[in-house]
Amino acid sequence: MKTEGKSKGTWIHRFAIRLFTLVLAVLIFWVLGFFVDDIRSVRGPSYDTIEKKYQDKDLVANRMALEKQIADLTRQIENQTEQQRVVGDSSRNLQQTINQLIELRKLGMQKSIAFSETEQANFTSSLNLFLDNQQKYQELSRTISDMIDRKQGLVREKEQAEQEIKKQGQPARDEFDTLSRKHRLKLAFLQLAILLPILAVAAVVIIKKRSSIYFPLFLAFGAATLIKVGLVVHEYFPSKYFKYILIGGLLIVVARLLIYFIRTIAFPKTQWLVKQYREAYERFLCPVCEYPIRIGPRRFLFWTRRTVNKIVVPGDGGVPEENYTCPSCGCNLFEECPSCHQVRHAMLPNCSHCGAEKEINA
Ligand SMILES: [Zn+2]
Ligand SMILES: [Zn+2]
């Protein structure tokens, strides 16, 4: 990494970079979540519509009529039961009265007092009323039991109708399942159609800019997108497929890590560093911060890694070489050679004039 060594920054800067990288990743994850949620809110198939297509309208109407009749009957039964209760209460009262009258009569007979005419009349009317009540009570009982019979019949009919409707609902449920699966696939496809290109861009940027100072930015972008893609894939595709995707991803990552370590052993870090420094010097860019090395005829020009080969350098070769420090990061780029006292590359191993070697620290 070019940012190693001098341009590492204070710990608070490094901490801030890590923190904001994380925050950025979370924000990007959030934004991607908005896209995905918007797609997810696309309405799927409606079960009611499909059900209506398959259902026999008469059957449904019949069930509704039956339901209404059952409800009516239930209400009527409740009314009748209430009436029966009232009649029963009144019967009990009458019974008490009659019992009392009988007691009185017994007492009268013991004391040889005759039962008066009014008393006799009262007794008779109470008794008649009581008998009437009993009859009414029996009638109500019959009506209620008839009603209960009718209600049970209706309930059976309704159950049959419901079974019929349920049977008819099977193709509707099948169609709904098929349509729902299709809808889910469509949603997954749309979400991935947005996420995968973003992921591809992120991957390309991360690979291309892995030595850029803005790498954390791209890393946050890539990581957030990758996690979102993983979640979407996991949500929509059965683990049957997901495990292949997962193992594929892991294979790639592990292979890359392996390659990285093999290369680190094959080419020690210093060698890598020297290679990076050399490439930067070739492009007249500071090896640490990529700021252009503006010396000699290039003093008044500006270029980047991409434009370095396109700019026209004015022919002014007569300018002597001089010591040079990167004005941007303060790294020493050209310095005096201790052995020949000419100007040499400070970050390359050998002096271009006398070949004196210098240790390059990783
Ligand atoms: Zn620099
Ligand atoms: Zn030298």
Listed residues: CB within 5 A of ion ligand 1: 286, 288-289, 291, 326, 328-329, 331
Q: What is the pLDDT of residue 317?
A: 59
In a domain, 359, yes or no: no
Assess if residue 357 is contained within a domain: no
Averaged pLDDT, 344-348: 91
Q: Mean pLDDT, the chain, as a whole number?
A: 86
The answer, as to whether pTM is greater than 0.75, is no
Query: Who wins on pLDDT, 93 or 321?
Result: 93
- The ligand minimizing its distance to the Cα of 337 is 2
The domain that holds 80 is classified in CATH as 1.10.287
Residue 244 belongs to domain spanning = 5-41+209-266
Query: In this structure, which ligand is nearest to the CA of 354?
Result: 2
Model pLDDT, residue 2: 38
Q: Assess if residue 195 is contained within a domain.
A: no
Cα 345 to ligand 2 centroid, rounded to whole Å = 10
- From the CA of 349, how far away is ligand 2's center (Å)? 11
Q: What is the 3-state secondary structure (H, E, C) of 14-65?
A: HHHHHHHHHHHHHHHHHHHHHHHHHHHCCCCCCHHHHHHHHCCHHHHHHHHH
Q: For residue range 86-139, list pLDDT tens digits in order.
A: 999 999 998 998 898 888 888 888 887 777 788 788 888 888 988 998 999 999
Which ranges of 237-361 does DSSP label H, i.e. alpha helix?
239-266, 269-282
- Token pair recorded at residue 205: 């940027």
Q: Does some domain include residue 57?
A: yes
Tell me which ligand sits closest to the C-alpha of residue 291. 1
In a domain, 338, yes or no: yes
* Cα–Cα dist 67/155, whole Å: 8
CA–centroid distance, residue 272 to ligand 2 (Å):
23
Q: 324 - beta bridge partners?
A: 334
Asked whether the predicted pLDDT for residue 79 surpasses 90, the reply is yes
- Count CB neighbours of 66 within 10 A: 19
Q: How far is the CA of 308 from the centre of ligand 2 (A)?
A: 27
Domain boundary among 167, 184, 201: 184
Would you give the DSSP letter of residue 116?
A: P
pLDDT band at 307 (very low <50, low <70, confident <90, very high): confident
Q: How many domains does the chain have?
A: 3
Distance 47 CA to ligand 2 centre (A): 85
* Spatial contact of 38 and 191, defined as CB atoms under 8 Å apart: no
Mean pLDDT along residues 202-212: 82
